[in-house]
Amino acid sequence: MKSILYSSTATPSMTTDVLRDILATSRRNNTRNGVTGVLLYRSGHFLQLIEGDDAAQEALMAAIEVDERHVNVTTLLVYEIDERRFPSWTMGFSAVDDPEAKLLPGYRKSLQDIFLAPAGTYAEFLPSLRVLTRWYTAHAA
């Protein structure tokens, strides 16, 4: 089983209703396909961690890459896992506003350092991303 972490940028048409639709569709599809994870949204950017078997991951990433609700889909990390970090979450979600974000472990003013990092260097961000995912495990809906 593997875990994939990717980032993307929302299109200008992103609204609260569109986010709710993404979450509902993700939960339904992920339940059917045995995928778990968490979706984070802040200031027009997504960061999503998905877990599951290889075939499910490949199909999901193919769909994500052509989804017109976001652009600049960038795979940050792909790694093998022995067990799921989010075993009961078909898709946890949190939309974080800036005042709340400042309280998060691993807080960054922006994700630009991750988005602009050369391919293959994303592993250096893994420790802070793990801290953030632990926080979201406790706080996401």
Overall fold of domain 2-139: Alpha-Beta Plaits (3.30.70)
* CA–CA dist 66, 48 (Å, integer): 16
Phi, psi of 127 (to 5 degrees): -60, -45
Q: % helix / strand / coil in the chain, to the nearest 5?
A: 40, 30, 30
Domain boundaries, the chain: 2-139
Whether the Cβ atoms of residue 6 and residue 52 lie closer than 8 Å to each other: no
pTM exceeding 0.85: no
pLDDT tens digits, one per residue of 83-134? 888 777 766 565 555 555 555 545 555 555 555 566 555 566 666 666 666 6
- The string of DSSP letters for 83-105 reads S-SSTT-S-EEEE--HHHHTTST
